[in-house]
Chain A
Amino acid sequence: MSVVRIPPTLRVDTNGEREVIAEGENVRELLDDLTTRFPTLHGKLEYANVYVGGEDIRTRDGYETEVSDGDTVILLPAMAGGAG
């Protein structure tokens, strides 16, 4: 069971929740579980960088990166805003 931090652009899909709980042995399972709980996330998560324990999963095992109980997983999309 891990805590997943939801970026502001995806909170419309998580009933406004900033952090949600998800289950999974690795990032892929975790994100699948998340999408099951919040179906409108489908097709959106692949645009976010994923960090487990503060490390980018691209520098680890990608979506196969293991997630341990209690890990915080951060979803980080690019944001353009400079409040022009």
Chain B
Amino acid sequence: MASYGELLQQGAGSVPTIGLEDARTLMDGDAVFLDVREPAEWDLGHVPNALHIPRAQVAGKIQQAIPDKSTRVVVYCARGSRSAVAGAEMRALGYEHVENLIDGFNGWEQRGLPTIVPSTLPEAQRRRYSRHMLIPEVGEAGQRKLLASRVLLIGAGGLGSPASLYLAAAGVGTLGIVDDDVVDESNLQRQIAHSTQRVGEAKVDSARETLTALNPDVDVKTFQERLSSENIDRILGEGWDVIVDGADNFPTRYLVNDASVWHGIPVVHGSIYRFEGQVTVFSPGEGPCYRCLFPAPPPPELAPSCAEGGVLGVLPGVIGSLQANETIKLALGIGDPLIGRLMLFDALGATFTEVALRRDPNCPVCGEHPTITEYIDYVEFCAAR
């Protein structure tokens, strides 16, 4: 058996070479690119659709990998030495059209020619998220973003249930849930994160159990407390990319709004009543805030809660899922989020209607000259109407 040095000398003389630009024109054709570098080098990036056989294994594996010896093969390594050897071995085995890529992958990369970085997600995650990774707009890079994202859900009720389930399933890495309530029998008609045997349990614990059973990748952080001016800075201070607002009362809505403007965190807003839902995204600095839309809450007799007026069980499923959709888009940075647009869903008419929302330059919180710059008494503010 010839030594590597001997092979190198033979190879250098016997294998035709091909330049970077000429090789590039072969990318979309029938030619095969063969990468003979070590696995650790391959893992850092390679020519798209290349075949990978480390140099020492080429002689043993090439005939199985490329049975047709008339195939045009561009063989490359980092700088062109190992590939010269591999090429010589292949020619000795009868491969007729082997060319050694001058300057190798290093030159290819420096020239800015197309490369891809192969998956480094664990196999189990690649299987779990395969349907995401097949979508060009998501892909492995997008899935990594989701896994690194942190989303805070206000409420683990009607909206928070479907929203958190889909976010957990999507692999949003950290989900925070704020809710001080316990599971009640009357919740189960719509709050699908909970279940009959968990009646009486804290909603945050029940939701955590459901979400981690669905996807153990997700770190669920629970806040079993009622959101207030006193605790909101501490909770938001843990650092969140998106807030999903599924609160069930006006004081919390206004509190979440003001805090999100001051913390600069986008809010995916959903609200529901009987057969109708509203969804929008309030993104500080980019679009209106909740106060631009509704400067003040309506008097209580005109704004009954779902506990008072009822809600179709499936409605939060629709609206909460739309909230999850907007949240995932924000986390991935894709698509057109519902910023400056409010989507209305009418379950009876089965219609979606969109209205335009504009930033109010006189908004007391996000306007040009804000007059509210610290937390107020939100219960009093909402009761005063």
Contact = CB atoms under 8 A, between A and B. Distances in A.
Interface of A: 5, 7-10, 18, 44, 47-49, 51, 54-56, 58-59, 74, 76-84
Interface of B: 154-155, 157-160, 181, 190-191, 245-250, 253, 270-276, 278, 293-294, 297-299, 302-307, 309, 311, 315-316, 342, 344, 346, 348-349, 353-358, 360
19 contacts: A5-B353, A8-B275, A10-B302, A54-B353, A55-B355, A58-B358, A58-B360, A59-B358, A78-B298, A79-B271, A79-B303, A81-B273, A82-B245, A82-B247, A82-B271, A83-B157, A83-B306, A83-B311, A84-B157
Given A7-B276, A47-B298, A77-B302, A83 B356 contact: no
A84 B184 CA distance: 10
A56 B160 CA distance: 29
B355 A81 contact: no
A74 B270 CA distance: 18
A21 to B, nearest CB: 16
Contacts of A55: 355-356
B307 A77 contact: no
Nearest to B160: A82
A80 B305 contact: yes
A24 to B, nearest CB: 20
Contacts of B357: 56
Given A82-B158, A82-B245, A82-B246, 5 more contacts: A10-B302, A54-B356, A80-B247, A80-B248, A82-B155
A80 B270 contact: no
Most buried by A among B157, B294, B316: B294
Contacts of B358: 56, 58-59
Contact of B306 (A48, A58, A74, A81): A81
B344 A18 contact: no
A79 B181 contact: no
Complex A-B, nearest 5 residue pairs according to Cβ-Cβ distance, in ascending order: A83-B158, A84-B248, A82-B246, A47-B298, A78-B294
A76 B344 contact: yes
Interface centre among B155, B276, B316, B358 (most CB of A within 10 A): B276
A12 B147 CA distance: 46
A58 B357 CA distance: 10
Given A49-B293, A54-B354, A59-B358, A81 B248 contact: yes
